Every structure is written in structure tokens, then in C-alpha cells.
Amino acid sequence: MAKVVCVLYDDPVTGYPKSYARDDVPKLERYPDGQSLPSPKGIDFQPGQLLGSVSGALGLRKFLEGNGHKLVVTSDKDGPDSVLERELPDADIVISQPFWPAYMTAARIAKSPKLKLIVTAGIGSDHTDLQAAMERGITVAEVTYCNSISVAEHVVMMILSLVRNYIPSYQWVIDRGWNIADCVARSYDLEGMAVGTVAAGRIGLGVLRRLKPFDVKLHYTDRHRLSPDIERELGLTFHANVESLVRVCDVVTINCPLHPETEHLFNEALLGKMKRGAYIVNTARGKICDRDAIARALESGRLAGYAGDVWFPQPPPQDHPWRTMPHHGMTPHISGTSLSAQARYAAGTREILECWFEGRPIRNEYLVVDAGKLAGVGAHSYSAGNATGGSDEAARFKRG
């Protein structure tokens, strides 16, 4: 029997849904690059249900408890007195989502002698100290590609919302106003602008493909250059480094993993090299941006807008400056946890668990750390070292 600790976000304040806005979600056959969708032997949920909150339990309760395993589901994850902290010493498996991450620090890993598997129900495992996992021989896996297009759609929405000044205009309607001049005083067309992505993996490339019909000039930088065919198809300009890209772009979207080389990449110096009045959209990880430098750039007018759904820590404290800085379009971390995406990453989590319990290999594309080394998607996306050094800091924050 294994003990599985699953950290999920809270249920809706009105209670777990009894009905939904739609009766179903579209069924996808494959991902855009041909990778197959998760393929567990079975699922115990209806796609389109809320699975990422505590009561949803990722649809795993029947499967795990029916096979004699113990499942602990909690949203209480931060600090020494949290449920997560109390349950770790005899946990075999820890599961959490990037939207409500269980910060698996070196200290937490050290106090979990039975821990063998850490699963990210979603994509992005930087909330785990990967170096500590490698040293302990713990397997780390995530459900690669499950919500990449979900995030890409969210990026396009946020770019348009910032450039067209949508959020303040919507607020005038809520306030019973009709203040057209106030609405359009910061509203521009996206057409003709230069838009660049920092990283052109599944999410970044998805953003580029969705933006091409807007007749914008597309730029990208990535440690892995795209093929000449894709560059020609989308009319892409490649930049060897991020400094070259930000100098020419009106809009920059951040889609790279968090690792030692990208932590606080967007600091005071880099922001100073951007075009005045540029926009940033960050749906990657909050710590890729220097928190206070972003707020100052918006206050000074260096940036015209900043939007995203990633913070550090998550959830952020009430006094986090990104809640109150001007011209922002911040949301909770929701881009990759639409009901559509939840069905995929819940199924992928079950597939990983089925493989683990049955002694079958986990798909290579799902592996981040295996046998003491970066593997699969981890070898492609991360570098050795701890990208989550600040997770010890995060553990000290109280829920905001």
C-alpha cells in the first residue's frame, strides 16, 4: 500500500459545482505535434468536471482507495504547521499542480524518507527542488503538453486585453459609465506590432501560430532554434539572446521554464533595454520577473502594461505589489487549469500512477527526473541545480 498526498486548490466559495455551464468538452484526438493524449486504462470522472480542487481529487480517489492505497487530499501546503508538512514523513507519492504548488524543498525531501515519486498534474516542475530529487533518486514526472494550448490561448487573450485596454473599459460598464475617451486613451491596434516570445516550445510556438493571422511581426528566442521550415511558414525572426529580442518588440510573452538561468531574467537592467511602452505577458513562472522591478516599470511608464497569471509565491500575500500596480491584467494562476485541461492532466496523472504501481515505464515525455538524472522533458527544459531556492521563502508566507 502506498500513501499518496495530493495538494489541490480550494473548492469554489459557493461549494463544489452541482452543474456546469456546458454539457461536455470537445474530445481531442492528438496534440498538434502528433503526441498522443494521456491513455490510462480507465478514468472515474466525466471530462468537463472540476477536478483540480480538493473535492475533485483529480478523479483519483476511487482508483487509489479501490486498490488499497491511502489518499490524503489537502489545500493546506505552506508553513511548518500545514497538513502537507505533517503528512510528508510517511508519504510515498506527492502530487500537486503548478497553480497551487506543493513546494518540495530540499528540507521537505529530506524529511520524507519514503518518498519515491513526485508528480506535477500539469506542466512545469520547478516547485520541486530537482537537484535534491536527483540526489535522492526520486522520480519526478509531469503531464507534458496537457495544457500547453490552454496557456497559449490565455496568452493571446491577455495580449489583446492589454493592448486594447479591455479591462478598464469593462470596468466602466460595471460602474454604469460610458466613458469612451477614458477607455481609448490607452487603446491601440495589435496589427503591425512586433511580438516576441521568450522560448518557442509547445506554448511559445502555439502563441506564435495563433498570432500570425493578426498581421504582426513575429520574433522569438530559444536555446533550441526552430526549423527553417517553421521560421518561413510563420515569418519568424530568430534572436540569439533575450536582450536582442526585447529591444525591438512591442509585446513580449514569456514562455520559458524557470531554472537558474531564467530566475529574475526580467530585472531592472533588462527592462531598461525594452522599448518604452512595451507590454509583457508572463504565464510561465512569476520568479522569471523581478517583482519590484516590474512594479516600478509600470509606475514610471517604462512598461505600458503587464499581465499574467503566475506569481511568487502562489498564492501571493495580500500585500504583493502586483495586486495594486497600475496597468496590470493579473489573474490567479488559471491559464492551464481550464475544465478542458483538467480532464487531460487528471487522466495523465492516473496514467503515470498506473505505470508506477504496475512497474511499467512512465512515458519518456512525462519524465523530468529519473534514476538520479534529468530525463525526458526535464533534460530538454531544465538544467542541473535548484530553480526553486525561493521555495523555502515561499513556505514562510501565509495564504493570502
The sign of the torsion formed by the CA atoms of 115, 74, 143, 239 equals: negative
Pairing of strands 139-142, 367-370: antiparallel
Residue 285 bears catalytic tag: yes
Q: Which of 61, 154, 333, 344 is catalytic?
A: 333
Residue 333 bears catalytic tag: yes
Q: Which of 285, 328, 344, 363 is catalytic?
A: 285
Q: Which of 97, 255, 314, 386 is catalytic?
A: 314
Residue 276 bears catalytic tag: no
Give me the residues paired with residue 196 across strands: 219, 252
Residue 384, phi then psi, degrees to nearest 5: -60, 145
Please report how the helices 148-163 and 166-174 are oriented relative to each other, as an axis angle in degrees rounded to 10.
Answer: 70
Looking at this protein, which amino acid is placed at residue 298? L
Helix or strand holding residue 71 (H, E): strand 70-74
Residue 171 bears catalytic tag: no
Give me the residues paired with residue 70 across strands: 3
Strand (E) positions, 104-250? 117-120, 139-142, 194-198, 217-221, 236-238
Q: Which of 97, 147, 165, 386 is catalytic?
A: 147
Q: How far apart are CA 306 and CA 234, in angstroms?
A: 25
Catalytic machinery residues: 147, 285, 314, 333
